[in-house]
Amino acid sequence: MGHPHRATVGGGGLHRLWVRSLAVVGPVVFSGSDDGALRRWDAETGLPLGEPISAAPVRGMTARGAADGLVIATGSPDALIAVWRPTA
């Protein structure tokens, strides 16, 4: 078995609290954290893509491509489930 590929996204410091959940869809990495930010990153460059989506603190997340675009579902500690359809 080979060594894992390590990369840092975002140059650090963009999430103010713990990152709790990650999802990867194609070339995009999504990260959700306790600060309520849902962020998109370019997996190749590690740079942020657009502004963060404001949300409740994220403790779980899934992201999937759908016929009509991308769908992201997040879960928070207050039992809120949010569904996002981000645009480019």
- Residue 16 identity (one-letter amino acid): R
Confirm if 22 and 62 have CB atoms less than 8 A apart: no
The answer on pLDDT for 7 being more than 60 is no
Residue 11 domain-assigned (yes or no): no
Q: Is residue 44 part of a domain?
A: yes
Domain membership flag for residue 3 = no
pTM, rounded to two decimals:
0.68
Return the percentage of the chain with pLDDT > 90, whole number: 0
What H or E segment, with its residue span, contains residue 82?
strand 81-84
Residue 13 has pLDDT above 70, yes or no: no
Question: Structural domain tally of the chain?
Answer: 1
Q: Does residue 79 lie within any of the structural domains?
A: yes
Q: Per the domain annotation, does 35 fall within a domain? A: yes
pLDDT at 8: 54
Q: Which CATH number goes with the domain that contains 69? A: 2.40.10
In a domain, 71, yes or no: yes
Q: Which domain holds residue 77?
A: 19-84
Please write the tens of the pLDDT for every residue from 39-56: 888 988 888 888 887 767
Secondary structure (DSSP) of 17-72: S-EEEEEEETTEEEEEETTSEEEEEETTT--B-SSPEE-SPPSEEEEEEETTEEEE
